[in-house]
Structures are given as C-alpha cells and as structure tokens.
Amino acid sequence: MPSSHPYSCLQLPTDAPFELRSSVGKGWGVFATRRIARGALILREDPLFIIRKHPAHIIEEDVWRAFQQLLPDQKQQFLLLRDNSVKPFTSMNAACAENSFSLRTPGESKKSKAPAQGLFLLHSRFNHSCLPNAKIPIVEGESIESFAVRDILPGEEITICYEPDFECQTRLERHEVLRFTCDCEVCQPGTLFQQLSDSRRRLIRGLEYLTQGKDLDRQRRDSSSPLIIDPALKRAAETFDISVSSRLIYRLLSVVLLYDEGLLDDIMLQRLWPGISRLAGAFGSEENAVIAQLALEQDTWVKKLEVAFKLFGRRDPVDGAFAKILRLKRGI
C-alpha cells in the first residue's frame, strides 16, 4: 500500500505499540510493532465527536452538525476515512456508522442500550476476529481503551471481536451478523478446528440457556429449538428449577469450554468469577458446600469442574428458595 494512503496521515500516539498498514483481504489494519503483554493497554482514545442518539436514529444532519464543530485539524482527520481503506464513504453518516462505537454514559443501566455513539479514528482501524487477541471492555465514560487478551508478538495483527455473544454462536450464525466474510482461525470452513469450535460455542449457548432460562435475544425458544432437546430440562431452565449444584456445574463447564476455545481472557473471567463464587457459597448443605469449596480451590478449570461433578444430581435445601428468588427477579 503506497505511503501516500490517507491512513498514513492519521495521528498515532507517540508511544503507540502498533502501526497502521494494509492487511491482506481486509483493507488496512493495526499491527503490533513490539511485544504487547497479555493484559497490557494497547490504546486509550478519546472520540473525535459524540452523537447522543441510538445508532439507528442517527441521520446525516447529526453527523454534519458534529463535524462542523470540529477544529480544522480534526476535520482533516475525519476526511481521511475511507470505506475499508479504499473508497470514500458515500455519506458522512456511513463514515460515522463504520467508525463509531457505542458508549455507556454514567448512570445508565447495564441492560439498556447505549444512547451515545463516539467516533474513534484509531480503534476503528482494528479488524475483526472471532478469536481476537485484544478487547475493548465496556466501561462508563467517553473514552475507550483496548487491552491485549494474550501476548501479542511484533508484526502480529491486533484484532478485536466486533459483536457481543459471538462466543455462543457458530460460524454460520456469526456470518449472518457480519457484513463481510471473516477468515479467522475459527472461520476456516470444514476444518476440524472450526467444527470443534462450532460445537463448543453451541454448547456454551445451551449452558447459558440452562442458567438464564432464555436465549441470547432474551427470548425463550419454542419447542422446535434444537438448543435444549429435553423438554423437561428446557421447562426447568425457564422456570429456574435448576438446582444450585447443576448451576455450578454448568457455569464451570462453560468456563472450561471458553478456555478450550481460547476465549477465556482476564476481562471475561472478571465478569464470570463473581457469579461462580456466589453459587459455590450458596449451598445450604454442609456436605455440598465443602465439595463446592474444594472445587474452586483447584488450580485449573478442568480440575475445578472434575471436583464439581461430584455434586451432580445432588439437591440442596436452598434449591427451592433460589428458584423462587430468580422467578421473582424475572417477574414469573
């Protein structure tokens, strides 16, 4: 790619551990220029502008107004943007849609959709992978940060996953959402790795249904859904009549599958661990509580799961109350 490409004029922080350059079949991308250790910050970026609307409601005038308020140098940076590095965008709104991230403004509930979109010149240069080596955690505020989720070597492309819940979706399902053909390691059709990955992600989705009583879209699946085949088990999940023992086993099994898939990063673990340790501490029977505690003390996820399997089929005095609380919370 010639050095006259507009992206060579994008301003990078002086200490950036990456460079921008072309990425085969994906336009331009972001490549590590030195080793980036797992957990290290890659980039903290402020938005060029913020539009306080749901992305679906943003119109051309909104972007135009935001653009007008930029300083001359910022306007120039915005005008460097190209559709996947090649063509100029057909509208300012299209440029905004392709280069913005949803922001969670302070005080907003976790469940509600972010009503603000920020335009980020550099984070938008990261290409997608379904097995990414970097992540942008959702935090409150206007700037966003990316972190390495595993060690990244010099020269390696830095990728993020564009969509939530991809850890529970098969290659086909992911491609229904993405507007391009992803060719990452887990998207190579027909390979054993891809088939295994599909099975793992499908299982993770089923386990999620068993513990949450609903699917990714927060809906129950009808009886034709192949997600949970056993109707009695499906009903039990939907009415939260899944024992605490089973819940703990399902959670740990999910973590083992995520680990095997290469998706268990520290950010995900921080999100999952509180729920797991709450479950392990919830047992009313001393015998069950001892097994659960012993499970969590093991030094690997497989060993934790192995010990937790000793709880399989065991009821607990708190099962009824646990189900009742969950039903109350969900208004059932």
Ligand X SMILES: C[S@@+](CC[C@H](N)C(=O)[O-])C[C@H]1O[C@@H](n2cnc3c(N)ncnc32)[C@H](O)[C@@H]1O
> Where on the chain is the footprint of ligand X (CB under 6 A)?
25-29, 84-85, 98, 124-125, 127-129, 179-180, 182-184
> Helix or strand or coil: residue 96?
helix
CA proximity to 279, closest of 266, 291, 268, 263: 291
d(CA 49, CA 121): 10
* Residue, CB closest to ligand X: 27
| Strand 127-128 to 157-160 pairing | parallel
Measured from the CB atom, is 136 or 228 closer to ligand X?
A: 136
The strands making up 127-128's β-sheet, listed across from edge to edge, are 18-22, 28-32, 157-160, 127-128
Q: How far is the CB of 81 from ligand X (least distance, A)?
A: 8
Q: CA-CA distances (angstroms) from residue 154 to 19, 28, 31, 40, 158?
A: 10, 17, 8, 14, 10
Q: Between 26 and 315, whose beta carbon lies closer to ligand X?
A: 26
In this complex, which beta carbon is closest to ligand X, that of residue 128 or of residue 200? 128
Query: Shortest gap between Cβ of 26 and ligand X (angstroms)?
Result: 4
* Smallest separation (angstroms) from ligand X to the CB of 123: 9
Edge-first strand order for the sheet with 144-148 is 41-45, 144-148, 134-135
Q: How far is the CB of 184 from ligand X (least distance, A)?
A: 6
Q: Which strands form 49-51's sheet, in the order they lie side by side?
A: 49-51, 116-119, 100-103
Closest to ligand X by CB, 98 vs 165, is 98
Nearest CB to ligand X, comparing residues 22 and 212? 22
Least separation, in Å, of the C-beta of 250 and ligand X?
31
Nearer to ligand X, 27 or 137 (CB): 27
Report the alpha-carbon distance of residue 316 to residue 313 in Å, rounded: 10
C-beta of 54: minimal distance to ligand X in Å? 19
User: Angle CA(35)–CA(40)–CA(43) in degrees, nearest 5?
Assistant: 95
What does the alpha-carbon distance between residue 83 and residue 89 come to, in Å, rounded to a whole number? 5
In the complex, minimum distance from the CB of residue 84 to ligand X, in angstroms, rounded to a whole number:
4
Residue 172 vs 232, nearer CB to ligand X: 172
- Cα Rg of the chain, angstroms: 23
